[in-house]
Amino acid sequence: MEWMKEKEAKKEAELQEKQQCQTERLQKKLKKDEYLREKKPGLKRNKRTEKMQIKRGLNRKKGKYKKQCRSCEI
């Protein structure tokens, strides 16, 4: 019974860590968008190439097209 509780606690801790990491990434992205809007109002971000760069980096690092950030790959 104790090992099940430990396992559940571990899973919950991992889940919380991933959610925190996701929120941090979103905040960084929003901050970058805001900055770009202020500095260059006519500029649009090229989301397709950005996604491809992310995929390439993660493809090299860990498996094909895994959508995780590098801090989560522990």
pLDDT higher at 1 or 13: 13
pTM: 0.43
pLDDT, residue 31, reads 87
Query: Rounded CA gap, 56 and 24, in Å?
Result: 21
pLDDT, residue 74, reads 46
What are 26-56's pLDDT values in tens digits? 888 888 888 777 777 665 666 666 666 665 6
pLDDT at 11 > cutoff 80:
yes
Contact 61, 73 (CB under 8 A): yes
